Amino acid sequence: MIIEFDKIEEKANEKFNGGEGYFNARIFNDGVNKILMGRLEKNNSIGLHTHTGTSEIIYVISGRGIMTTDGKEEVLTAGMVTYCEMGHNHTFKNVDDEDLRFFAVVPNHNV
C-alpha cells in the first residue's frame, strides 16, 4: 500500500493534548495504526500524553525540537528518531524558527 500524504488534507489541531498553538498533521488511520506527517510551527507543541495501548516512533525530517519523555528532555534534529514505548509519556515542542516537520507511526498494541 502506498500512502500519498500530499493527497491527505492537513488538519490543524488546536492545543493538541493540552499543547501550545497548533499541531498540523496529515494522518492515515486504518482503524488500527496511525501513520502521519506532522508539522509544528515556532513555539507550538504537542501536549503531554501517555501511550496507553499504543507506542510511537517519530522521525524528524527538518527543524529542531525538544522531546520530553518521562520527564527527560532531549533535543531532536533532522535525521533523528525517537521512540515512546507503550505506557510511557511524552511531549514535543518546536524550539526553532523554522517549522518542525516529522513522520510518525503510532501502532495499536491492543488488537
Residue 80 located in a structural domain = yes
Residue 97 located in a structural domain = yes
| Rounded Cα distance, 89 and 46, in Å | 12
Residue 4 located in a structural domain = no
Residue 78 located in a structural domain = yes
Arithmetic mean of pLDDT over the chain:
97
Residue 11 located in a structural domain = no
Question: Which pLDDT value is given to residue 110?
Answer: 86
Residue 83 located in a structural domain = yes
Show the domain range for 78: 18-106
Residue 13 located in a structural domain = no
Give which of 73, 55, 53 is closest to 64, Cα–Cα: 73
The CATH number of residue 84's host domain is: 2.60.120.10
What are 28's three cell numbers? 492515515
Residue 56 located in a structural domain = yes
Question: Which pLDDT value is given to residue 87?
Answer: 97
Q: Cell 522521525: give the residue.
A: 59
Q: What is the pLDDT of residues 4-50, one digit of tens each?
A: 999 999 999 999 999 999 999 999 999 999 999 999 999 999 999 99
Question: Which pLDDT value is given to residue 111?
Answer: 75
How many separate domains does the chain show?
Answer: 1
Q: What is the pLDDT of residues 69-104, one digit of tens each?
A: 999 999 999 999 999 999 999 999 999 999 999 999
